């Protein structure tokens, strides 16, 4: 099964595509979609949409997994901006006919590391170990996206 994990953001969206066959995970593609703050919102959103659409068309994943929006009450604008990025990502997935799932960060951490309050570094190490990665990705957003994909496979298996 091919699973695309996406860590959405307006500035740097991380993505990671894995293939799962039984207990074996294989990294197919991972990277970032970056937009510039000086670009207007519609241009930034179009860039995210087009990049996700391209990834979906090239790799044809069976599922796409996004992190649920979490924003601190003191920073409501963060969730508003994040909602725009998530919206175009969800639209691209829907247009491609890809099943979508979303999980809270704590749920993914629990699935990957065994505890919901694990650090980003603990999650990153486990993701790298599971995928046999030798080099640490330049962006934590990539590891977060891969964790979403791996976590989804674990969560789906536990429901069987």
pLDDT, position 5: 98
| Residue listed under structure tokens 């069987």 | 160
What is the tally of structural domains in the chain? 1
Higher pLDDT, 75 or 10: 10
CA distance 150 to 4: 9
Per the model's pLDDT, the better-predicted residue between 100 and 158 turns out to be: 100
- CB atoms closer than 10 angstroms to residue 61: 24
Least confident among 115-119, 130-134, 138-142, 154-158: 154-158
> Using CA atoms, how far apart are residues 33 and 25, in angstroms rounded to an integer?
23
Taking only the tens place, the pLDDT of each residue in 118-134 is: 999 999 999 999 999 99
- Which is it for the CA torsion 83, 87, 88, 92, positive or negative? positive
Number of other CB atoms surrounding residue 27 within 10 Å: 17
Residue 22 belongs to a domain with what CATH number?
3.30.420.10
Cα–Cα dist 33/31, whole Å: 7
Nearest CA among 8, 20, 15, 14 for reference residue 154: 20
pLDDT tens-place string over residues 54-99: 999 999 999 999 998 876 667 777 788 889 999 999 999 999 999 9
Q: Quickly tell me which residue has 């640490």 as its tokens.
A: 136
Provide the 3-class DSSP secondary structure of residue 33.
strand
Catalytic positions, written as ranges: 7, 67, 141
Domain that holds residue 33: 2-158
């Amino acid at each position: 099964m091919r699973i695309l994990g996406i860590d959405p953001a307006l500035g740097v969206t991380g993505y990671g595509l894995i293939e799962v066959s039984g207990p074996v995970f294989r990294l197919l593609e991972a990277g970032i979609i970056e937009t510039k703050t000086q670009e207007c919102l519609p241009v930034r959103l179009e860039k995210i949409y087009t990049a996700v659409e391209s990834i979906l068309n090239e790799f044809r994943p069976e599922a796409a997994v996004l992190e649920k929006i979490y924003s601190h009450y003191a920073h409501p604008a963060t969730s508003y901006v994040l909602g725009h990025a998530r919206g175009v990502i969800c639209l691209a997935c829907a247009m491609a006919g890809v099943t979508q799932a979303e999980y809270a960060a704590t749920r993914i951490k629990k699935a990957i590391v065994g505890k919901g309050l694990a650090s980003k570094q603990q999650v990153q190490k486990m993701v790298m170990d599971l995928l046999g990665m030798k080099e640490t990705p330049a962006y934590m957003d990539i590891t977060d996206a891969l964790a979403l994909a791996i976590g989804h496979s674990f969560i789906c298996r536990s429901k069987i």
